[in-house]
Amino acid sequence: MSAVPFARYPAALIAASLGLAGLVASGAAQANVVYTQLPTALTTSPNSGGGCCDGTGVWFNPLTGYAEERGYFFPDNLYEDGKFFLLTDTSSGSAEAEVYVQGLFSRGNGVIYQSASNLNPALFGVGQSIGPASGYQSPGAGYPDLGPSFGNWDVGRGFLGLTLRNPAGASSSDIYYGFADITVNADYTITLNAFAFENTPGQAIMTSFAAPVPEASPAAMLAAGLLVLGAVATRHRTNPAVKIS
């Protein structure tokens, strides 16, 4: 039984397969969002110490997938690449929703602020891009406000834009972009629903209430193309009268 001549395969299939093979050989990079959906959403309890003297609240780290609701004591690893702290500050009597950003010497671990003149976290909605061109970015330690006395958030669900220090990086621009899916409740407690980051340094991330559907890799597309070519060859061998153009 003779093999089907290469020249008899459909030209479009040959071109597609060769093109995909080139992508695989060149190791084409793909964006990759690491999304963590919490099995049970975590909500902050009132923090009478205002964060400076009380670790009560929700701690999370998109780089490691860590998240927990804690009482008075701070976590053992307090300073950590990618770690954030959500709290309901009741130190002045009225409740204020806040997030603690570590800064780490102006290298990542910050939030996206509304602007240079409004140094409180911007509110992002579904389908918005968080990246180098988003809001105002100037990482530094502190407790920026979500609301109600200060800040840009109303009661409801939205996204905090995050800059995460790349542990392997060496400059202030070598960071990952991410988001925290949170709900600011009527009593200004904060509920953490999920978080995510784009693990390509400097690559923007799109906000979403669900994990993104993975794109087909070049290798998978190549495999699909080769299967089609194999099916065409088999069809021709079993039925030589079939014309392949």
Domain segments of the chain as ranges: 6-29+215-238, 33-206
DSSP state at residue 191: E
The answer to whether 148 and 189 have CB atoms below 8 angstroms apart is no
Length of the chain: 245
- Please report the pLDDT score of residue 19 as a whole number: 47
**199-200-205-209 Cα dihedral, nearest 10 degrees:** -20
- As a whole number of angstroms, the distance between CA 237 and CA 230 comes to 11
- As a whole number of angstroms, the distance between CA 211 and CA 69 comes to 23
- As a whole number of angstroms, the distance between CA 85 and CA 78 comes to 10
Partner residues linked to 36 by β-bridges: 195
- Please report the pLDDT score of residue 25 as a whole number: 38
Low-confidence ranges of the chain (pLDDT < 50): 1-29, 228-229, 232, 236, 244
The answer to whether 175 and 201 have CB atoms below 8 angstroms apart is yes
In sequence order, the 6+-apart residues with CB closer than 8 A to the CB of 1 are 237
Smallest CA-to-CA distance from 61 within 39, 33, 36 is with: 36
Angle CA 113–116–122, to nearest 5: 20
Q: Is 103 helix (H, G, I), strand (E, B) or coil?
A: coil
- Please report the pLDDT score of residue 171 as a whole number: 81
- Please report the pLDDT score of residue 212 as a whole number: 80
DSSP-H helix ranges across the chain = 11-26, 218-238
Predicted TM-score (pTM) of this structure? 0.76
In sequence order, the 6+-apart residues with CB closer than 8 A to the CB of 85 are 51, 55, 57, 58, 59, 99, 100
DSSP state at residue 243: -
Write out the two tokens for 20: 């995909």
Fill in the amino acid letter for 228: V
